[in-house]
Amino acid sequence: MLRGSGAERSMGNKAVFPMSSPRIQANPQSSLPFGEEAKPRFRTKTVATRLTPDELAELEAAAEGAGQSVSEWLREITLRAVRHRVADPVELVLAELWAVRYALLNFFHAAAQAASEGRQLVPDSVLKIRDQADARKLRQARKLLEDFFAREGKERDPMP
């Protein structure tokens, strides 16, 4: 083993050189696609908050009513709120507007392409375009709003 070079680290009795160790290790028993890692099995992170005695009593009563510990109840409620966030009306309007724009542009393109090839637009193509617009609209609206507010924030806070 080369001592003092700083290029190796020791694992048991073997030296492991950073450039020679694989970044993604294959797991032959894994059902995950290559390169994807399994989610951690153990919760190792903590979030702390301060509550008034009355707020704590409310949480304890709600958790007890659900038959859960306070931490289990808080985790479930918090993750549900994050994962199933209700869209705000501005997002919904922007999402529908984005979907109409997406659908029209794609309809026109598909119709022009079909006409140039001497055929008609197939009804399944129209349904496919509609479904694609519906599947993407809320995500795209949120992205547009995030981009807008990020730009607006930069314009308001000029660099000193």
In this predicted model, what pLDDT tens digit does every residue of 13-63 receive, in sequence order? Answer: 554 444 444 454 444 555 556 555 666 678 888 889 999 999 999 999 999
pLDDT of residue 35: 57
CB 145 within 8 A of CB 90: yes
**119: region left, alpha or beta (phi > 0 left; psi from -120 to 50 alpha):** beta
Give the single-character DSSP code of 56: H
pLDDT tens digits, residue range 74-121?
999 888 888 876 668 888 999 999 999 999 999 999 999 999 999 999
pTM for this structure?
A: 0.46
51/62 Cα distance (integer angstroms): 15
